[in-house]
Amino acid sequence: MINIVLLEPEIPNNTGNIVRTCAATGAVLHVIEPCGFSWEDKYLKRSGLDYWQISEVRRYENIYDFLQKNFSYFGKENMDKAVKIAYQNAGVQTLFASTKGSVIHSRIKFEKDCFIFFGRETRGLPEPLLKENYQNTFRIPMRGEARSLNLANSVAVVIYEYLRQFDYPGLKTQGELTGRGY
């Protein structure tokens, strides 16, 4: 199962759209606080539409809460080292999406169970975290003069690359005409 991890997201609409993508694909969404919005925000709710009931969204008060609940890690190292120690000890593929990534997303061989970190909309993932885990970073290709893609779009690109590699398990891959004839 693919696990999408948002580290301190800032924009409610992006998170709502990511909820919708995760619901439609079966991905689990992990949100690490603090967020730049309230969970009661109307834009967050509106972006997620009626997909909130079929999504699995887990919230954490901080990175250490996330590491304890997902990797059984109870250490106190700084965040950069703690994340690396936690996933290495757990033996779970953990990747980091960043414009500073070392390879492109389509060259990653995803494991069935993996965690993929995405950073804040305005700053991305902290550079010390990327430096500590650089061998596990990747990027989505884009033009050199473009700063970054939208967070929700980036998550969608990565989820669908993961699903493509496993032939879209559990997803409906063929549609039907409705007969509405517009």
Residue whose structure tokens are 């834009």:
43
Structural domains of the chain sorted by starting position, each given as residue range(s) with its CATH number in brackets: 2-165 (3.40.1280.10)
Which three-class secondary structure state does DSSP give residue 35?
coil
Q: Residue 49 — pLDDT band, cuts 50, 70, 90? A: low
Mean confidence (pLDDT) of the chain = 92
State residue 5 phi and psi, 5-degree precision. -115, 120
Q: Report percent pLDDT > 70 for the chain.
A: 95
Please check whether residue 79 is in contact with residue 117, taking contact to mean a CB–CB distance below 8 angstroms.
Answer: no
Spatial neighbors of 182 by CB under 8 A, at least 6 apart, are none
Question: What is residue 4's predicted lDDT score, i.e. its pLDDT?
Answer: 98
The model's pTM is: 0.93
Q: Report percent pLDDT > 90 for the chain.
A: 80
Question: What is residue 80's predicted lDDT score, i.e. its pLDDT?
Answer: 92
| CA distance linking residue 151 with residue 72, whole number of Å | 28
pLDDT, tens digit, 9 for 90 and up, residues 61-118: 999 999 999 999 998 889 999 999 999 999 999 999 999 998 999 999 999 999 999 9
